[in-house]
Amino acid sequence: MMEDTYYQLEEALVQGFQTPEEYQAYKELKEHYEEVTGDYSFSIRELTSQLEIALQNHRGVEFEEHEKEDYLDLVQKLEEFDSSLATHYRQLID
């Protein structure tokens, strides 16, 4: 059962989300999957993807203070799942 859910989540990420409802359905399925399995890889992937995009967009340019705060908030969320990854991104942003 959970293996099917894993593949549903993978497929949703590959296809992307066309509507807020599709994203909401994905989030609910992901939260249920994480609660049952303890596998937070989808949340980790979402956070690291957002951080990677931010870093690519700011290559060689300092973050504005409000942007830095937003990205450090993402790093703080990542800390809940993987402290070594969070440390890595915190160093890149600070």
Report residue 85 as tokens: 């990854």
> How many alpha carbons lie under 13 Å from residue 84 in its C-beta half-sphere?
0
- Count of positions (residues) in the chain: 94
pLDDT of 41 reads 96
Domain residue ranges in the chain: 2-39, 42-93
Q: What is the pTM of this model?
A: 0.85
Q: What is the pLDDT of residue 58?
A: 84
pLDDT in tens, 43-76: 999 999 999 999 998 887 788 899 899 999 999 9
**Res. 26: pLDDT tops 80:** yes
Asked if residues 74 and 92 have their Cβ atoms less than 8 Å apart, the reply is no
Share of the chain above pLDDT 70, in %: 100
